[in-house]
């Protein structure tokens, strides 16, 4: 679907918060590139997403994890089991075909299904490329904002869509212009909820470490 007069961009399952990041509010996002993105794209996209969360008072670390076997020892952050303070995103090369999402979706976040914190999200690179044909933002910008949206769902839940801001389910031409300028962010209310969610996850992670409880498996 093109970005015409009435065209929209929709995410699935998926006002500036003027507070500086709190030092103890930090999560790690592991990114797996199955789409073979151009060199440097993920690093730039991660920086964009990091700035979005920083405006909500949250520090994020974006780690590119390898797909090939035999090199895991060079990526210690990617080897350990995922704790409640970690999430992961997979950049898939294809569209939404075969997934329980509409064809115009950029990505989706998986619910845990067992009451534990959600940790896994997906982005469809082909959908990103379709939008880039007419949008004026750079690839890394659109990808970074898409990843931030899906991490937002992992932290806030599947019913986190809002009428404005980065968690809006349907992005109109105005939202895409805000992507280009870096102005599409979480609302103040969402920022409060994000920080509360991360505090709870950090408590769970600390408890798991202290008690030796089984952490979440590596995706």
The mean pLDDT of 113-131, rounded to a whole number, is 88
> Which pLDDT does position 10 carry in this prediction?
46
Q: How confident is the model at residue 8 (pLDDT cuts 50, 70, 90)?
A: very low
Does residue 127 lie in a domain region?
Answer: yes
**Residue 43 pLDDT > 80, yes or no?**
yes
Closest CA to 111 of 159, 73, 68, 144: 159
The mean pLDDT of 42-46, rounded to a whole number, is 96
List, for residues 134-161, the tens digit of each pLDDT value.
Answer: 888 999 999 999 999 999 999 998 888 8
| More confident: 207 or 204 | 204
d(CA 179, CA 81): 33
d(CA 65, CA 79): 9
Structure tokens at 115: 């009451």
Q: How confident is the model at residue 3 (pLDDT cuts 50, 70, 90)?
A: very low
Closest CA to 161 of 120, 206, 108: 108
Does residue 142 lie in a domain region?
Answer: yes
How many CB atoms within 10 Å of residue 98?
7
> Which pLDDT does position 4 carry in this prediction?
36
Domain span including residue 177: 12-210
Does residue 116 lie in a domain region?
Answer: yes
Q: How confident is the model at residue 213 (pLDDT cuts 50, 70, 90)?
A: low
Closest CA to 109 of 97, 127, 121: 121
Does residue 98 lie in a domain region?
Answer: yes
Distances in Å between the Cα of 212 and the Cα atoms of 39, 62, 87, 131, 181 are 39, 26, 20, 45, 45
Angle of helix 139-156 relative to helix 41-54, nearest 10 degrees, comes to 50
Indicate the DSSP class of residue 116.
Answer: S
| More confident: 70 or 125 | 125
Does residue 25 lie in a domain region?
Answer: yes
Does residue 126 lie in a domain region?
Answer: yes
d(CA 202, CA 207): 9
DSSP 81-140: PBPTTEEEEEEESS-STTSSS-TTB-EEE---SSSSPP-EEEEEHHHHHHHHTT--S-HH
Structural domains in the chain (count) = 1
119: domain CATH number?
3.40.390.10
Q: How confident is the model at residue 117 (pLDDT cuts 50, 70, 90)?
A: confident
The mean pLDDT of 26-43, rounded to a whole number, is 94
């Amino acid at each position: 679907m093109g970005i015409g007069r009435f065209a929209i961009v929709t995410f699935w399952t998926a006002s500036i918060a003027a507070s500086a990041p709190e030092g103890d509010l930090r999560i790690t996002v592991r990114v797996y590139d199955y789409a073979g993105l151009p060199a440097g794209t993920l690093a730039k996209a991660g920086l964009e997403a990091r700035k979005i969360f920083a405006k909500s008072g949250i520090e994020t670390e974006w780690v590119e994890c390898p797909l090939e076997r035999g090199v895991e020892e060079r990526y210690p952050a990617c080897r350990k089991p995922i704790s409640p303070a970690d999430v992961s995103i997979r950049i898939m090369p294809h569209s939404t075909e075969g997934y329980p999402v509409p064809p115009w979706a950029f990505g989706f976040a998986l619910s845990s299904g067992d009451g534990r914190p959600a940790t896994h999200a997906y982005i469809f690179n082909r959908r990103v490329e379709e939008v880039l044909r007419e949008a004026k933002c750079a690839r890394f910008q659109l990808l970074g904002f898409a990843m931030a949206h899906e991490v937002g769902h992992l932290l806030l839940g599947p019913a986190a869509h809002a009428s404005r801001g980065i968690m809006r389910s349907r992005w109109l031409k105005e939202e895409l212009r805000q992507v280009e300028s870096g102005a599409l962010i979480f609302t103040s209310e969402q920022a409060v909820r994000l920080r509360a969610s991360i505090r709870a996850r950090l408590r769970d992670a600390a408890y798991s470490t202290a008690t030796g409880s089984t952490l979440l498996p590596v995706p």
